[in-house]
Chains A and B, each alone.
Chain A
């Protein structure tokens, strides 16, 4: 009987609380095993043994005080976790952010904000459940007063592994939804908090298209007139950029921010065909060298601040972490607001209050609305911030005096150009109209006065029968436009070979003789019109006026900013083979004497990938076009995406170049993009895809991810010709398809008919 009583007593002691804590510890153990993927086995086994023995003892009723015991097990767990946290590798972090136990956006909404209302869908009933949007409120108290500060929270929701959330991989329409609610926030004048929890965007082309929608988002965010804060946990490539062009970018200490997943990088580095898997060692190697951690990115300047997470990463029960996070997002938002103020006294006072280490932001109220002028300053600040990034990652070999002269001439030319176009041109028009009227009167008078003489001459001409002569004699024809010879022929025209058109099975094209095809035919199949790829030089020499091409900034070289193993040699090889220092050539040229600035991405230089140097040159070209009021053409001979070996140095070019393009377009220019051969990924999803005038050369392909990547990431088999320019045209991604031989004529037409109001020749 007493024995029975004791049992009952003990059973009562093992109440729900202990049971729950055991389950929690078990989950921590599973988490530990998962994120280290077999590493640190000793520590894991130790914890497992302790947990199991505690359970066993509990079962055998060998526990005197379960609360004390379990607390000691928990302490051991905490100790080991802290210990392991110091030896965490980049790849471990990748596994941490992907783990179902990782905090999700909903956890943040519940714990960081005071109330929230989900908009744009509920759970699985949503246009895209992987993109979560909520109107949230932060409540602050100052003295007795309470302030409710609304924000728009936007971010990817991984839903702790719920399948319908698609792992936070957002479909094109999900990103469109995000953009829609950013506009709502802009209208309402409330700050936007973006939480980045994505391994990457879902790479499908259905309207509005993965690449084009991301481009629209980046372009839109470059000009949003409300404060934007981005908090990055998993920053996977383009999907991350779609919502992270922000005034302040915070990053969770255990997150990663990368141009590509380590697996993707390994597949490229290992030259794997689809279906093959990279070895764990190669993946780990890539993760290490891509410099994807928060510390790396803070060091590069691509994030502003790191939010420290608990050991081995934040999970939903880390309530302290949510408090920290709340402080940090409030601080960041406040800082952005303070930054836009101009009165120095208030600015300094407010900043000092905020930077005090133990400042309680909950009681420091700052109004989050902005005046119209402050909004302008806010946008300008954001744009400047991005334009200034990553310059150090390119090798700028321009001699110092070139730069000095350029800066000096800027000082002079800027006011001169604004005088010339904004003042002189306006008044010139009035003078011209006046002069024309005088001229009209004079001509009418002359006509009357000279009419007898004209009649006399006319009669003589009739007698001489000049008419017949005019119709039968050789006429003057100075410009021999008809037999137009190409200024440049592909060197392949010298090779006596026959080539089979890829469409020959469908259209019955006969084989083409190389010298005809690469010479006179300009690489176009004379049966079906298929365009064989041509060299970049072909375009430079044949599209623009003869001898009008003037390259600039050729001294900005592609480098190896991450010291990626073996990459310096590969860049050197590409430079030698291509005869250029980077994959982007920027030049001034003329088309029928209209001056134009061109940035050309060359598919022949490492696939046309864009790194820091290419982005630098692109930005410089856009700024030059803005200054000179020239039209700006991005001719994409080919691009494979951002240069993965440069990591975030390359990735940051997406928002950076888009900012430059937006500034150019808003200055009243004409920004055109012409895609050729194959154009994919980052560049299309940012500074190319945001152009209002995008055209493609016939037989080109464009899109977000290639067929192999789509199959790999989504498991979907895509139909043939999925990325053909004709498909892109049907989907509304581009405005037209041009024949290569007509590029010059079409550009001429475009320059005359489209574009903004501030072009120099208007």
Chain B
């Protein structure tokens, strides 16, 4: 079988590369990310097809698709989650590539594999499926990092099956934290085959470890048919940073677009404000060398990206402790919501402003990067607010209803990304996140960015009612209150 496949692959290699406008991209997502992808395609003169569901018929992304791509580019599907429908649309529309956006199929290596391996093969705009699979596995990522000397959370880097070994690691972890001066050491026990917060428990008392270990092990065996557990230090009190990596299909010379700080989050660990760059060593005082930490995590991220031959956009997520120690958390093998904050402070020599989504599409379709790290410069500070219909006081419960008014003051330093139509009332679909808009604000320094941010937040007029006649609830006040704490520990 392998023998047969070889010449076939060679044939594909020899095929002349299509120019960008010969491609057609299927935008396999909804809401604001779909809109950004469509705009990017439009700017690159790439035709596209878009999908929507019955619930989303009133969404702004449908309007935009119609205006940029015409009526024929729109396809209604029953669900964004059904890969079969996505493939059918791609075939019907004659697409040559699929952009998954974020969420849905963005980090699903099987979807990526299906796109590329099917008989009518297409390009998956994202890293190759093997990389998604490799970096999508936390244990694999942790071991890769350790093999390259990249710091990771202290603890096991493989599933532990043996109780004696588990206890030994837990004991060491408690001792290690005490040695480091942690006042309330915590150890995390989690099912190695688990994910999404299932089968995780904290241990604060070494004597308690054995019973927790057994509970998690049994749970893992029942739930995932694999009784392996991971035992790690539970780090509290940290800042959440990330590094934006961009690479072309060769994967040989990835570049970075700096760092972001996403520490302002909801109680459910959903990001609410993102700032680029990740620290402001010039304006704020840190108990550690913040500039050095930023350099380090960027270097570590690039080392790993080079090692795996990372071939599209991706984000390396880090936690940085109060004492300035960085630990790699995970790698997001996709474009992220907050890519805009990094883009708004960056420009490439000779090319001007950067749109990371355009870059992703362009590189994904096989173009060369065309510039080096040295040609990328950053200026100022970017802020991103996620404006969401929710009640921060009540555990960030989503608010459902109809938006009647949505206005804000347009300024040159503001980019507003929203699928919520401003010319008519809009009923928030209950099927998806109640994300309303992303506001990206640029300032020449942190102070100016914060000022502008507050000014923008104050200018928003957002009103609506739900079925019971209650007023719309949003997180605008929460965003205002937290602007003050940005980039501080």
Binding site for B on A (CB under 8 A): 465, 467-468, 470-475, 477, 481-483, 494, 496, 498, 510-511, 513, 515-516, 520, 739, 741-742, 745
Contacts and interface: CB of A to CB of B under 8 A. Distances in A.
Contact of B110 (A470, A483, A516): A516
Contacts of B176: 467-468, 471
B225 A741 contact: yes
Contacts of A510: 81-84
A475 B1 CA distance: 36
A510 B110 CA distance: 14
B143 A477 contact: yes
Contact of B179 (A468, A472, A477, A515): A468
B119 to A, nearest CB: 4
Interface in B222-239: 225, 228, 233
B156 interface: yes
B114 A482 contact: no
A515 B109 CA distance: 13
B439 to A, nearest CB: 36
B460 to A, nearest CB: 39
Given A467-B172, A468-B154, A741-B225, A473 B143 contact: no
A471 B152 CA distance: 10
A462 to B, nearest CB: 10
Contacts of B173: 471
B169 to A, nearest CB: 7
A467 B179 CA distance: 10
Given A471-B233, A483-B137, A510-B84, 9 more contacts: A468-B179, A471-B173, A482-B137, A482-B192, A510-B82, A511-B84, A516-B114, A742-B225, A745-B225
Interface residues of B, number: 35
Nearest to A742: B225
Interface string B99-131: 000000000001001100111000000000000
Nearest to B1: A494
Report, nearest first, the 5 A-B pairs whose CB atoms are least far apart: A474-B146, A471-B154, A496-B119, A477-B158, A511-B84
Contacts of B287: none
Contacts of A467: 172, 175-176, 179
Contacts of B143: 474, 477
B202 to A, nearest CB: 17
B398 interface: no
A471 B173 CA distance: 7
A467 B146 CA distance: 16
A474 B147 contact: yes
Given A468-B179, A496-B118, A739 B225 contact: yes
A483 B133 CA distance: 10
A498 B84 contact: yes
B139 interface: yes
A513 B83 contact: yes
19 contacts: A467-B179, A468-B154, A468-B176, A471-B172, A471-B173, A471-B176, A472-B146, A474-B147, A481-B159, A482-B137, A482-B158, A482-B159, A510-B82, A513-B110, A515-B113, A515-B117, A516-B113, A739-B225, A741-B225
Nearest to A516: B110
Contacts of B110: 513, 516, 520
B225 A513 contact: no
A339 B179 CA distance: 85
Contacts, number: 68
B155 interface: yes
A638 B157 CA distance: 42
Contacts of A494: 1
A513 B151 CA distance: 39
Nearest to B193: A482
Given A482-B192, A483-B140, A510-B83, A472 B151 contact: yes
Contacts of A739: 225
Contacts of A481: 159
Contacts of B156: 475
A511 B81 CA distance: 11
Contact of B114 (A472, A477, A513, A741): A513
A742 B222 CA distance: 12
Nearest to B79: A510
Given A467-B175, A510-B83, A474 B140 contact: no
Contacts of B172: 467, 470-471
Interface string B172-189: 110110010000000000
B188 to A, nearest CB: 13
A510 B139 CA distance: 29
Given A510-B81, A510-B83, A515-B117, A472 B159 contact: no
A212 B135 CA distance: 51
Q: Which of B154, B175, B192 has the most CB of A within 10 A?
A: B154
Nearest to B110: A516
A475 B159 CA distance: 11
B158 A475 contact: yes
Interface string B139-173: 11001001100011011111100000000010011
B135 to A, nearest CB: 13
B231 to A, nearest CB: 9
Q: Which of A467, A468, A472, A477 has the most CB of B within 10 A?
A: A472
Contacts of B140: 482-483
A215 to B, nearest CB: 31
Nearest to B231: A471
Contacts of B158: 475, 477, 482
Contacts of B84: 498, 510-511, 513
A511 B173 CA distance: 46
Nearest to B139: A482
A481 B140 CA distance: 12
A473 B155 contact: no
B50 to A, nearest CB: 21
A472 B156 CA distance: 8
Contact of A472 (B82, B117, B152, B192): B152
Nearest to A477: B158
Interface string B1-18: 100000000000000000
A516 B113 CA distance: 9
Nearest to B171: A467
Contacts of A496: 117-119
Q: Which of A511, A739, A741 has the most CB of B within 10 A?
A: A511
A510 B114 CA distance: 15
B158 to A, nearest CB: 4
Contacts of B152: 472
A761 to B, nearest CB: 22
A513 B83 CA distance: 9
Contacts of A515: 113-114, 117
A473 B169 contact: no
Nearest to A741: B225
B169 A471 contact: yes
Contacts of A498: 84
A21 B261 CA distance: 111
A742 B114 CA distance: 26
A475 B117 contact: no
A468 B233 CA distance: 12
Contacts of B169: 471
A470 B170 CA distance: 12
B229 to A, nearest CB: 13
B168 to A, nearest CB: 9
A472 B154 contact: yes
A481 B155 CA distance: 19
A496 B140 CA distance: 29
A473 B114 contact: no
Contacts of A470: 172
A513 B176 CA distance: 48
Contacts of B154: 468, 471-472
B146 A473 contact: yes
Contacts of A483: 137, 140
A468 B139 CA distance: 19
A511 B233 CA distance: 41
Interface string B377-408: 00000000000000000000000000000000
Interface in B263-303: none
